[in-house]
Amino acid sequence: MAQIQADENIDGSPSKQVPDVSVVLPIYNAEPFLREALDSVTNQTHRNIEIICVNDGSKDSSLSIMKEYASRDPRIVIDDGPNGGYGKAMNRGINRARGRYIGILEPDDTLLPSMFETLLRVADRDDLDFVRADFNRFTKNDDGKYIYFTESICHGDGSLYNKVLNPQNNLALLNVRMQNWTGIYRKSFLDAHAIRFHESPGARFQDNSFWFQTYCWATRIEYVDQPFYCHRDDNPNSSTNRSDLMFAMLDEWAWIRDYLARYPEKEHKLIKVFNHRKFHNCNFAFGKLADELQLPYLQRFSKELNDAYKQGELDLSMFSQLEQKKLQALMEDPKAYLEQYRKDRAERKTAQDFEIARRAGFRALFSYYLRTEGIVRAIGHTIHGAIRRLFHR
């Protein structure tokens, strides 16, 4: 495995200063967005960072872009190797990191300039295992301009922000949003508990196991109510149609289940919380599957839930009434569950299409009715709408 290092001073002498943060970028065919990502991390206001670009066997010009940036910035380290998947790429970066903390930057995302300055100050001040923050989602509008939406890492629960928390005494913290890249993690904490990513093939859901491990062992964490990480969301409705990735989320949670079994005290304490979070995350993954893959996925998911229930590992009181209804329906009949899911999905799509057409104006609304109800009903709806608007002026 070739390693192209640039961790040296401007005069060519090796840099002996320990970086405060090692930022790991797992890079595979990231050419379209990589420059934006690298610009955002090299322009951080906190300068004492190490930037580890892990080239995971890219076939495009990603490696050339990394070398270009490394030639200008001695903080950049390139770890070049064959494709091994997201988890392995992340572990390569973490294992060679020299920094006191680990940060994560996906190569199609960006960072606001003060991210590491702010999070480092909080982490050092409060002696944290990790600190995480709110984040932005961004996409392009029809004019090609970026638009941003801020997301609360704590689902809007203001009582959880800006204070030291202990997940060992508050299992509800496992319901906080999972996005690992919103924070920094003390390297000595990760090493002490051998916390690394699950090295499964591809780039699907390996962040789940890393997240769960950190909450298994952390005793001092904090959430910051400011967004710094900007997550690209250009295709939120993308689906998985590869049969080899069909069970990726279920496999990830099977790995986490095996991990828990290695630590009986943790298993006893966390198994019901584990199954509550597994239900949510695996349901999310189900919604991303192509239609032809959904039934086999649900059949396996249903069996695993039934097995957990028989073992006394499901606590229904952790689920809302709506969640309980879905859980029980899935456990009883995955095929009927799928039919109801598709019916509900069609109704949501119809409602969304109507609202889009209504906002777009007369022509769009007429086209919507024409497509969904035919010419006669479309004309009728149009006349009715015109009369209603006339008498409500």
- Averaged pLDDT for residues 284-306: 95
**pLDDT class of 200 with cuts at 50, 70, 90:** confident
How far apart are alpha carbons 7 and 23 in whole angstroms?
A: 13
Q: Is the separation of the CB atoms in 162 and 222 below 8 Å? A: yes
- Averaged pLDDT for residues 212-230: 98
3-state secondary structure of 110: strand
Task: Report the sign of the C-alpha dihedral through residues 207, 212, 215, 216, in that order.
Answer: negative
136 vs 4, higher pLDDT = 136
* pLDDT > 80? residue 316: yes
φ, ψ for residue 18, nearest 5 deg: -75, 125
How far apart are alpha carbons 347 and 337 in whole angstroms?
A: 16
pLDDT at 346: 83
Mean pLDDT for all residues in the chain:
88
* pLDDT > 70? residue 355: no
Q: Is the separation of the CB atoms in 357 and 365 below 8 Å? A: yes
362 vs 161, higher pLDDT = 161
How far apart are alpha carbons 165 and 150 in whole angstroms?
A: 23
* 11-54 residue pLDDT tens: 443 456 899 999 999 999 999 999 999 999 999 999 999 999 99
pLDDT at 11: 40
**What are the C-alpha distances in Å from 72 to residues 42, 49, 194?**
10, 15, 34
pLDDT at 381: 61
Enumerate residues 6+ apart whose C-beta is below 8 A from 217. Answer: 129, 189, 192, 193, 195
33-47, 314-328, 358-372 — which is least confidently predicted? 358-372
Which amino acid makes up residue 167?
P
* pLDDT > 60? residue 251: yes
* pLDDT > 80? residue 371: no
What is the 8-class DSSP label of residue 51? E
Q: Is the separation of the CB atoms in 345 and 306 below 8 Å? A: no
* pLDDT > 80? residue 3: no
φ, ψ for residue 195, nearest 5 deg: -85, 120
What is the 8-class DSSP label of residue 220? -
- Averaged pLDDT for residues 252-265: 97
Find the length of the chain: 393
Terminal Cα distance for the chain, rounded: 73
* 104-118 residue pLDDT tens: 999 999 999 999 999
* pLDDT > 90? residue 91: yes
pLDDT at 12: 42
Q: Is the separation of the CB atoms in 257 and 277 below 8 Å? A: no
* pLDDT > 80? residue 9: no
